């Protein structure tokens, strides 16, 4: 069977092998502690589930408009106004099957063969693959602990060429947890506007931020930036709704919105009608469940950061958002993959290697797991480093 060149170039997930192995070990009764999770370990709040059940009973089980129901788009506009001081019209919103699908659609819509998309590294592992699938070229800007894993406007300027189409910015970031300040966003956005490149702002972790910090959306910097930015967000992380598959984009560029609507209408059509009804409830503005979850994440973050930094062989910055610790491997001769394999086999702890995020000198630990697991898992990691 001759597969398309496009698909052949998509790399298999490096994380898959290690998570599959951890799962197999657990099935065999081996007590593996899992720091790999990419989703909240909290349940979807009851009132959201109830809204979905009601939608089923009310017969909301048919096709909706391909880009989402009017009610949900209106609620998303209200959310942008309330949380981000941004004024979108429902016609400027497209609801898709998760934020991943939203980003995929955007890249398909804007990227031609040879176009360059700038991606700060470390990055969320799907961005480069999505660019490759659109036959574009991912261009990475390396960052490290010194800059808090953030790019500067100068770095952006240097990376821009005639072929540059867009920058993907993810704040709070998976895997580093870093958040750009308003001043940093402004510098980067102005550089993007000056060079006429789009900013795709992935704001999926917007609500998972710590120390009572106030979130600033890239699109809220000023009017020009608003026009130049495509915002991506969704309910997956904030409302513990990863399985429901609802993400959305907002853009005041009519051309882009129309192109994505057309693309979506011929591919997935609408996201599940029942999930849209559930997301409508999530968007109601009552964020008390989110606040409870974030408080617990913050408690775990403080604990795990302290533990990681007391391990002789690992170090990490304190993430400002999301639920991951991106740990630097301070021990010579160990790559992320090698360390992940050894921790799984020898310490019975599953972590994600840094390689798929663009660094072979890091591992990612998720604290979307219980305090007990974090406590016991860190004991095992500490013991392993003590003996190796
Ligand atoms: C940075 C980032 N963007 C987007 C997504 C995709 O979210 P969704 O589950 O809504 O597709 C994820 C999920 O892990 C993520 O970490």
Domains of the chain, first to last: 5-44+288-387 (3.90.1150.10), 61-282 (3.40.640.10)
Phi, psi of 119 (to 5 degrees): -130, 115
69 CA from centroid of ligand 1 (Å): 22
Region 294-300 average pLDDT: 98
Say if residues 107 and 117 touch (Cβ distance below 8 Å): yes
204 CA from centroid of ligand 1 (Å): 6
Give the model's confidence band at 6: pLDDT under 50 very low, under 70 low, under 90 confident, else very high: confident
Dist. CA 187–CA 63, nearest whole Å: 43
54 CA from centroid of ligand 1 (Å): 27
Query: Tens digit of pLDDT for each residue in 346-388?
Result: 999 999 999 999 999 999 999 999 999 999 999 999 999 999 9
Q: Which of 100, 248, 356, 368 best tests ligand 1's pocket when mutated (most atoms within 8 Å of CB)?
A: 100
Is a pLDDT exceeding 90 seen at residue 13?
no
pLDDT value of residue 61: 98
pLDDT value of residue 5: 86
Pocket residues for ligand 1 (CB within 6 Å)? 38, 98-100, 124, 170, 174, 202, 204, 234, 236, 242, 247
pLDDT value of residue 10: 83
Q: What is the mean pLDDT of the chain?
A: 96
Cβ-based neighbour number of residue 345 at 10 Å: 11
Query: Tens digit of pLDDT for each residue in 72-84?
Result: 999 999 999 999 9
Say if residues 346 and 320 touch (Cβ distance below 8 Å): no
% the chain with pLDDT above 90: 91
pTM of this prediction exceeds 0.95:
yes
Q: Cα–chain-centroid distance for residue 293?
A: 17
The beta strand positions in the chain, using DSSP E, are 33-34, 93-96, 116-121, 137-142, 164-170, 198-202, 229-234, 247-250, 314-316, 324-329, 349-350, 352-353, 362-366
% the chain with pLDDT above 70: 99
Dist. CA 317–CA 338, nearest whole Å: 22
pLDDT value of residue 20: 85
78 CA from centroid of ligand 1 (Å): 22
Region 288-312 average pLDDT: 96
pLDDT value of residue 221: 96
Nearest-atom number in ligand 1 for the CA of 322 is 16
Q: Cα–chain-centroid distance for residue 325?
A: 14
Nearest-atom number in ligand 1 for the CA of 246 is 10
107 CA from centroid of ligand 1 (Å): 15
pLDDT value of residue 79: 97
Task: Decide: helix, strand or coil at residue 159.
Answer: helix
Q: Which of 171, 205, 234, 236 best tests ligand 1's pocket when mutated (most atoms within 8 Å of CB)?
A: 236
pLDDT value of residue 9: 78
Dist. CA 65–CA 76, nearest whole Å: 16
The residue contributing the CA closest to ligand 1 atom 16 is 174
Query: Tens digit of pLDDT for each residue in 140-157?
Result: 999 999 999 999 999 999
Region 176-189 average pLDDT: 98
Query: Tens digit of pLDDT for each residue in 202-223?
Result: 999 999 999 999 999 999 999 9
Nearest-atom number in ligand 1 for the CA of 173 is 1
DSSP string for 304-333: HHHHHHTSTTEEE---SBSSEEEEEE-STT
The residue contributing the CA closest to ligand 1 atom 14 is 38
Q: Measuring CA to CA, which residue among 194, 24, 198, 183 is closest to residue 107?
A: 198
183 CA from centroid of ligand 1 (Å): 25
Dist. CA 92–CA 103, nearest whole Å: 15
pLDDT value of residue 298: 98
383 CA from centroid of ligand 1 (Å): 33
Is a pLDDT exceeding 90 seen at residue 18?
no
Dist. CA 99–CA 248, nearest whole Å: 6
C-alpha count within 13 angstroms, C-beta hemisphere, residue 360:
6
């Amino acid at each position: 069977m001759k597969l398309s060149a496009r698909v052949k170039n998509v790399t298999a997930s490096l994380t898959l092998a290690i998570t599959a192995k951890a799962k197999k070990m657990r099935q065999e009764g081996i007590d593996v502690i899992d720091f790999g999770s990419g989703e909240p370990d909290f349940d979807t709040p009851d009132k959201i589930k109830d809204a979905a059940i009601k939608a089923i009973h009310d017969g909301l089980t048919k096709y909706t408009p391909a880009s989402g129901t009017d009610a949900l788009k209106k609620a998303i506009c209200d959310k942008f106004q309330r949380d981000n001081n941004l004024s979108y019209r429902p016609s400027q919103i497209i609801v898709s099957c998760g934020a991943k699908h939203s980003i995929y659609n955007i890249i398909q819509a804007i990227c031609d063969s040879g176009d360059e998309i700038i991606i700060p590294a470390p990055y969320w592992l799907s961005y480069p693959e999505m660019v490759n699938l659109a036959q574009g070229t991912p261009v990475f800007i390396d960052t490290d602990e010194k800059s808090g894993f953030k790019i500067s406007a100068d770095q952006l300027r240097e990376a821009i060429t005639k072929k540059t189409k867009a920058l993907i910015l993810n704040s709070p970031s998976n895997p580093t947890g870093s958040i750009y300040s308003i001043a940093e966003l402004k510098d980067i956005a102005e550089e993007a506007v000056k060079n006429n490149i789009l900013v795709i702002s992935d704001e999926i972790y917007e609500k998972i931020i710590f120390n009572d910090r106030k979130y600033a959306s890239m699109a809220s910097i000023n009017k020009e930036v608003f026009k130049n930015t495509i915002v991506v967000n969704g309910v997956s992380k904030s409302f513990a709704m990863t399985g429901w598959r609802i993400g959305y984009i907002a853009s005041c560029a009519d051309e882009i919105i129309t192109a994505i609507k057309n693309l979506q209408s011929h591919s997935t059509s609408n996201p599940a009608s029942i999930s849209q009804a559930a997301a409508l409830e999530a968007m109601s503005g009552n964020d008390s469940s989110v606040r409870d979850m974030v408080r617990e994440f913050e408690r775990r973050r403080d604990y795990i950061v302290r533990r990681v930094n007391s391990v002789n062989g690992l170090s990490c910055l304190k993430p400002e958002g999301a639920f991951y610790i991106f740990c630097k491997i301070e021990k010579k001769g160990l790559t992320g993959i090698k360390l992940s394999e050894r921790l799984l086999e020898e310490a019975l702890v599953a972590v994600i290697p840094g390689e798929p995020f663009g660094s072979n000198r890091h591992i990612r630990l998720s604290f979307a797991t219980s305090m007990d697991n974090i406590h016991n898992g860190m004991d095992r990691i500490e013991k392993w480093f003590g003996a190796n």
